[in-house]
């Protein structure tokens, strides 16, 4: 599974393709509302310096409130949707894991240790749940926010948009490199947790 990356999750994602597409739509709408808020505020400030009428300011205020409400609603809908997807996928995976454990013979269970298997499975399922419930919705929202925000910045200053893209690309590259190191550390911690679980099961179970 480790060598396959996230491809082993595809069979579990297929029943939720429609929900994932709806989640992408929610993220796009929420990111669009968040990206357009500074633009609308900038127009309001520009008009205010030119002596705009109070009635026009009310329209700007209503627009900002509407964008904030849109962001809040669709972020909430996206959070609830990804939570349902995460719960469904982890439930299906845990059920498959349980049925697979039932097929193991006694020698295999003694070789790897029941505590080791359960510890690794529990840790993996927790992070898979976090990937869908938090990681997916945050990453897709951030991606749309980056694309829409940089497009709006480019309308004013293409150079500034390029600088922002370069800085974010560098940040992503650094995070990927650090992520590989964290993955190694997580594997070591997981192995230690498995040893502790096996020890507790054998001596206190």
What is the pLDDT at residue 1? 42
Q: Is the pTM of this model over 0.85?
A: no
Q: Tell whether 180 is covered by a domain.
A: yes
Helix (H) or strand (E) run with residue 12 in it: helix 10-13
Angle at 76 between CA 70 and CA 81, to 5 degrees: 125
Domain limits at 175?
7-204
CATH number, domain at 65?
A: 1.20.1560.10
Query: Residue 75: pLDDT above 60?
Result: yes
Tens digits of per-residue pLDDT, 116-166?
A: 666 666 667 777 888 888 888 888 888 898 888 888 888 888 898 899 888
Alpha-helical (H) ranges within 50-157 are 54-103, 106-112, 114-130, 137-156
Total domains present in the chain = 1
Instruction: Supply 175's token pair.
Output: 């995070």
Q: Tell whether 65 is covered by a domain.
A: yes
Taking the C-alpha atoms of residue 144 and residue 148, their distance in angstroms, rounded to an integer, is 6
Q: Tell whether 29 is covered by a domain.
A: yes
Q: How many CB atoms lie within 10 A of CB 44?
A: 17
Q: Tell whether 1 is covered by a domain.
A: no
Q: Tell whether 2 is covered by a domain.
A: no
């Amino acid at each position: 599974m480790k060598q396959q990356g996230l491809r082993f999750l595809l069979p579990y994602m297929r029943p939720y393709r429609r929900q994932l597409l709806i989640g992408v739509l929610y993220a796009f709408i929420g990111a669009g509302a968040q990206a357009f808020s500074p633009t609308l505020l900038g127009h309001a400030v520009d008009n205010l310096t030119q002596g705009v009428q109070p009635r026009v300011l009310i329209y700007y205020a209503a627009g900002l409130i509407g964008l904030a409400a849109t962001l809040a609603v669709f972020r909430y809908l996206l959070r609830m949707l990804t939570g349902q997807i995460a719960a469904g996928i982890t439930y299906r995976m845990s059920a498959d894991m349980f049925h697979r454990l039932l097929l193991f013979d006694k020698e295999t269970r003694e070789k790897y240790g029941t505590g080791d298997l359960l510890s690794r499975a529990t840790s993996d399922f927790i992070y898979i749940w976090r990937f869908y419930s938090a990681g997916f919705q945050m990453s897709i929202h951030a991606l749309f926010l980056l694309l829409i925000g940089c497009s709006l910045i480019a309308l004013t200053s293409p150079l500034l948009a390029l600088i922002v893209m370069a800085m974010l690309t560098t940040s992503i590259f650094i995070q990927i490199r650090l992520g590989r190191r964290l993955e190694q550390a997580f594997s070591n911690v997981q192995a230690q947790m498995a040893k502790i679980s096996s020890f507790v099961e054998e001596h206190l179970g």
